[in-house]
A and B are shown apart, each in its own frame.
Chain A
């Protein structure tokens, strides 16, 4: 050291709580429901910079929908959304148990994040293309994709739509506007931009939507995607699902301490919205704003959906080893299902009995699908023909694959 200054020190961010600590949310700045302005859909990004740092909320603590972002949805739409969220949670519970019972090798729940994929799946159509991560199963469920096909995929059985080729939950459902999931994080975001560019190039009316976790925003793909989305004004909705945890790394490790994830958009000249991801109505309203902007050829919007990953990252993970045990329970933005239920009750459209009935119905529906899928077979009991291992590597098999297939004897 040659300078007469204090020695430098390296900062490594740490979360506000670790196992054994009481959850501490004092660092969160949560705007009151209804308190954030709604800019016109054609606002210039520079005119709405504050939205990257605020939190759009519609439902207040009593379950009332208030403020300029209230999407004023009819009761039928709300009930449809609530039921899809309930079904998603019931599906997750059964498949998580199926893993514990040895019926499959892997599963990932989206507990606490159901409002995001369900609301967005309802707003956009099947003709639009969604480029998901592994926690948007709610989109398939909201669109009525057969639960049994999801299970067949999870079991890699003979009826698996993608022929036993992918890790459980890496669905692909083109006809439902659901792009094939990659386990390599962030790759789908610039692809979504490219898909949207193609739609614009063709003069089509379809848009793309994509999701990435808070952790994976550190990948170069994310930043490349924002550059391309901005440069070519691609009709795409770029969601960042900030569920606070990337496996065991808190969002500060991805850069969330010094700024918000939504604010990443600002440097790219894209509009940013930061939204309470556990508020079905807020998610709906923000997505609708971004959708209208994209469809009217005004380009991409970045939406940070502020939520909490209630479950382990996957069945291979144990969060009790790195975060306070009751952090999820105490999450100040509550649970998306409970909050929408409360809202419907406040509207006089719902009741505890109706909720219990919907939950029972969801469990029955999942059980029936489970029986159907398990009759085909769980992992290892049934699988596609071994011959299919060599198919669809290319449009046509080359001699190597023919020889290798023969070597296997199929």
Chain B
């Protein structure tokens, strides 16, 4: 499975030279205060190295996540540096590996597990939803589940239906879970560090189209690497980005765009394409949600467009839309609008018809600016 993805990835404009091999990973940095350019893989890897060096109760495991370091290399060198019993390969059993993590968490460890693709998370769904999420509540606080379930997620990589999905809404619906989706290397490291230190289970989705560069949806254009971005300047030592705080990626006055993951970069491109002065908010964490930042922005702009890759129906955009109208209705000058994946399985041959790109975002922005819905 991973091989077929890698092939697709290679044919999609991501070249090996986009991973900046010259930049030292965090684990070999001598100074905590040092900053290095990192792509998202390196930043996530750095978070794991730093936390594992700091806390012997942090373990990392998953399918191909041990010796080999994961099919996307996020767990690279963890085993070599921290030992076989701290970073290891698991049987191909998402249910089993998440359940093992839950048991370890109940013992007092802080396991970080990798689900190779978010599309493979469903065999673990019962363990996540019925067990990890409910542990603290159902035991009256006697047992907790301080685990992190990491998973590469989202489309734009010609992965077809089993390597492209965005299942975040299946987890935001579950009381007891936190859902975090970073959009850049700096946040990826700081939020993963926070997730590992969190005493509750965190679903940590990593937009894999962003691993090697801030993909903005203009798929015909050459992809720019992370090193051109400020948010790729990542401290090599430890830092924490709090879970539950949004990041305003672009300030603007005309319309608020609520987005996360790859759609942050697509939304920025869409706003530019439309020539609209949009305020682009990267939610970063869906649960808990930074409602204050959302509310303040929509009350300022009077318009709101929500962008996500996941299918529209019962997507997280529906929740955001409801919250915005509940809290900002009298400030709204246009209907809240969603730009989402279609309500179809993720198609292989129609990647760019399915993937919400900057043109669709721009169309939505223009529509709300003229007072109408799309």
A residues contacting B by CB (< 8 A) are 129, 131, 160-163, 165-166, 170, 172-174, 179-180, 182, 184, 187, 189-199, 201-202, 208, 220-221, 224-225, 227-228, 231, 392-395, 398-400
B223 on the A face (CB < 8 A): no
Q: A198-B107, A199-B107, A399-B288 are in contact. Are A191 and B139 (CB under 8 A)?
A: no
User: Are B131 and A399 in touch, CB under 8 angstroms?
Assistant: no
Minimum Cβ distance to chain B for residue A385 (Å): 13
User: Are A395 and B93 in touch, CB under 8 angstroms?
Assistant: no
**Other-chain residue from B104, B126, B141, B142 in contact with A187 (beta carbon distance below 8 A):** B126
Q: A191-B106, A228-B91, A394-B176 are in contact. Are A172 and B139 (CB under 8 A)?
A: yes
**Other-chain residue from B59, B100, B131, B136 in contact with A228 (beta carbon distance below 8 A):** B100
User: Are B136 and A191 in touch, CB under 8 angstroms?
Assistant: no
Q: Which residues of A contact B141 (CB under 8 A)?
A: 392
User: Are B109 and A190 in touch, CB under 8 angstroms?
Assistant: no
Given pairs A190-B103, A224-B95, A393-B176, 19 additional interface contacts (CB within 8 A): A163-B140, A165-B140, A172-B139, A172-B142, A173-B142, A174-B143, A180-B143, A184-B126, A187-B99, A192-B103, A194-B100, A194-B101, A194-B104, A201-B85, A202-B107, A221-B96, A394-B136, A398-B289, A399-B291
Q: A190-B99, A198-B107 are in contact. Are A227 and B93 (CB under 8 A)?
A: yes
Question: By the criterion of a CB under 8 Å from any partner CB, how many residues of chain B are at the interface?
Answer: 46
B206 on the A face (CB < 8 A): no
Q: Which residues of A contact B140 (CB under 8 A)?
A: 160-163, 165, 172, 392
Bound-state Cα–Cα, A184 to B135, Å: 13
Bound-state Cα–Cα, A29 to B37, Å: 70
Q: Which residues of B contact A220 (CB under 8 A)?
A: 95, 123
Minimum Cβ distance to chain B for residue A332 (Å): 36
B102 on the A face (CB < 8 A): yes
B residues contacting A by CB (< 8 A) are 59, 85-86, 90-91, 93, 95-97, 99-109, 123, 126-127, 130-131, 135-144, 175-176, 178, 198-200, 244, 287-289, 291
User: Are B138 and A165 in touch, CB under 8 angstroms?
Assistant: yes
Q: Which residues of A contact B142 (CB under 8 A)?
A: 161-162, 172-174, 180
User: Are A182 and B130 in touch, CB under 8 angstroms?
Assistant: yes
Q: Which residues of A contact B105 (CB under 8 A)?
A: 194
- Which residue of chain A has the shortest Cβ distance to B59 in the bound complex? A201
User: Are A180 and B135 in touch, CB under 8 angstroms?
Assistant: yes
Bound-state Cα–Cα, A393 to B135, Å: 9
